[in-house]
Structure 1
């Protein structure tokens, strides 16, 4: 069992990690090229996430420094109570213990997610994908260097080089205590972890995010937000579906303009029966498409009767991640935001802000579409559980 490291040591390790990432920048980028060349898949979003270029290394460094600057999430008093019998009772945050992160493709997770778990006083087990093995092992080597420099055990950060069979065996019968599992990746990975895990799992679920353009929308804002929602197709906060109110003034011109701007951005536009017919678009093959997260240069536009109809459609088909309403009417937006069942709801703003850094958490371990134990971006302050501290002087009940 690893004894909780002092906050000073945890912060020092993170700052040293930032320095080592800078010093090894060229080496990381070169090693990552090996992974990129070896990648033979045809998943463009997977390839995009696999890349560790200068900008990605900058993000890793920034994440490590930012984590070091944040308050300690462990030992924060959440509640206190003085019992009639004189006992003093406190409820404080406590680390989970050991967190297993299973992820695909993204070497930056090896810094950011491990950093968040480490700063929250947890031991981290990293199970990355085979496609990013060289990059991940290099980054873990730097973690171990940083830990050693501050006399901390290297097993605070451990990399599990398991294949699928070994991973399944570990999930079903862990060879060490695991308190929490966080899978980050596609639906197949998440289903696999849920099926085999024997301890709590926080689901970083699918996107499939909707934008509803109400009849009271500002059309320029609507276009900006939809295009921005498609600006990074590999992101889970990307927009896949657009619902346009059938009573929108200048609807035809608006939809034509939207289609042409999406086409300029190399996005393939599909329509529901009405939109496809009126705007010479390919029609979606079936209603099942409304459930799909694309992670691709693809978007669907459909018409909808009202705000209420949009709410019920989103609640049926969306991934529980993010949804936006474009409207100049506050009451209409309020109704939408209170009733749409997603982790984040937006009024006249882009779904691309569903991100720990953008929402003031300084980074995220994952974006949870579960309702327990935390919904939306999981930041430093959410990677803790809690514990009761009771001080007495001989009280018995």
Structure 2
């Protein structure tokens, strides 16, 4: 691949062409995905949901590409300027990372969305998808190559690594080409595997295990809707709700709990509860305290009682994945205390954790949702998949 960065017109033309090709090749993408779906023998509901490609997902792929093509160039944006006393003009501007490796499980739409964001940011893309989505991924990468070639650009800009686990480990430890950044998207085992073997920086897209705290001054109807949406709208999402804490001083708490249990049962959600919930026969008692750490990605939830805001904050900061947490309350000052004290990438007041998503938060899509604090926290959008460098212009200055 040439070391010369593609200009913004070239990058946009590829993205626009890719959107057209995906639309024209809907049938072949879905047929490839059917092969993957037929070959998947697991019983993981979240994995199956992420693996499936239908017309709706293809519409999302096309929209993502079109929106990316319409966004401002994230490369070369001036962040700082300084005029030195000796006459030098000094600028700091955003710059591409170089080569970004994306390692992901089961989601063919990542082959579009994540690759598109990385490409728009001027990066070469290395894609390492899971074996369960191989046919879907190869069908999409074929279209990436066609979009590049039709714009007289080498296909080296988007490369698929069809590696097994052992070969992936070897590549991570001793890359056969320069890799500047790795983004793993998947479960905790994948992330730990990448962190253990990577020889370059890794953005950790960590576990969800998101909490909702129902404050004593909550609107109970709002709280019920919020919890049901967060738990049942999409169980495979990392922004789904797994834990609910209910303030012991919530008025008519027992009526709210009964209503919540009945509604969750209507969605076939398995309910685990602490001692305060064990009186209800529909609730299974918590067997091990470690369940508070778990991300379920399933129709399963844990409900517990808490004394007050400080205890709720303490419990969330101890057990959550640092992803998302919500407080349901009419008390704005209580919400402020909660939101400033909870150590999560996204904190909510009277809104669903399901909005922790690059598109929903105005980024036009996302590469991943980082639970790290460097270099970007939360959804990683187009604006964040850049580093920076210094430009110094002089006319012979020496020091």
Q: Same fold (TM over 0.5)?
A: yes
Q: Which residue does 1:130 correspond to in 2?
A: 131
Q: Distance in 2 between matches of 1:218 and 1:389?
A: 54
Q: C-alpha root-mean-square deviation of aligned residues, in Å?
A: 0.7
Cα deviation for residue 2 of structure 1 reads 3.2
Which of 61-70 and 275-284 deviates more? 275-284
For 1:340, which of 342, 345, 348 is the aligned residue? 342
Q: Distance in 2 between matches of 1:381 and 1:136?
A: 25
Q: Distance in 2 between matches of 1:278 and 1:111?
A: 46
Q: Distance in 1 between matches of 2:117 and 2:278?
A: 45
Which ranges in structure 2 are unaligned for 5 or more consecutive residues?
Answer: none
Q: Distance in 2 between matches of 1:9 and 1:189?
A: 34
Q: Deviations over 1:44-71 (max 9, x none)?
A: 1001000010001100001110100000
Cα deviation for residue 280 of structure 1 reads 4.9
Q: Distance in 2 between matches of 1:361 and 1:211?
A: 24
Cα deviation for residue 346 of structure 1 reads 0.2
Contact 2:144 2:158 (C-alpha < 8 Å) held by counterparts = yes
Contact 2:274 2:286 (C-alpha < 8 Å) held by counterparts = yes
Q: Which residue does 2:273 correspond to in 1?
A: 271
Q: How does 1:1-397 map to 2 (within 5 A)?
A: 1-230=2-231, 231-278=233-280, 280-397=282-399
Cα deviation for residue 277 of structure 1 reads 2.4
Q: Distance in 2 between matches of 1:128 and 1:318?
A: 27
Cα deviation for residue 174 of structure 1 reads 0.1
Q: Distance in 2 between matches of 1:188 and 1:314?
A: 22
Q: Distance in 1 between matches of 2:68 and 2:202?
A: 23
Structure 2 residue matching 1:324: 3-state secondary structure: strand
When the two structures are superposed, what TM-score results if normalisation uses the length of structure 1?
Answer: 0.99
Structure 1 runs of 4+ with >3 Å offset = none
Q: Deviations over 1:185-226 (max 9, x none)?
A: 000000000000000000000000000000010001101110
Equivalenced residue count is 397
Q: Distance in 2 between matches of 1:38 and 1:281?
A: 36
Q: Deviations over 1:237-293 (max 9, x none)?
A: 000000000000000000000111111111111111111225651111111000000
Q: Distance in 1 between matches of 2:79 and 2:150?
A: 34
Q: Distance in 2 between matches of 1:342 and 1:215?
A: 22
Cα deviation for residue 396 of structure 1 reads 1.1
Structure 1 residue matching 2:315: 3-state secondary structure: helix
Which of 170-179 and 258-267 deviates more? 258-267
Cα deviation for residue 41 of structure 1 reads 1.1
When the two structures are superposed, what TM-score results if normalisation uses the length of structure 2?
Answer: 0.99
Contact 2:261 2:282 (C-alpha < 8 Å) held by counterparts = no
Cα deviation for residue 160 of structure 1 reads 0.1
Q: Deviations over 1:110-134 (max 9, x none)?
A: 0000000000000000000000000
Structure 1 residue matching 2:278: 3-state secondary structure: helix
Contact 1:256 1:279 (C-alpha < 8 Å) held by counterparts = no
Structure 2 residue matching 1:235: 3-state secondary structure: coil
Contact 2:51 2:106 (C-alpha < 8 Å) held by counterparts = yes
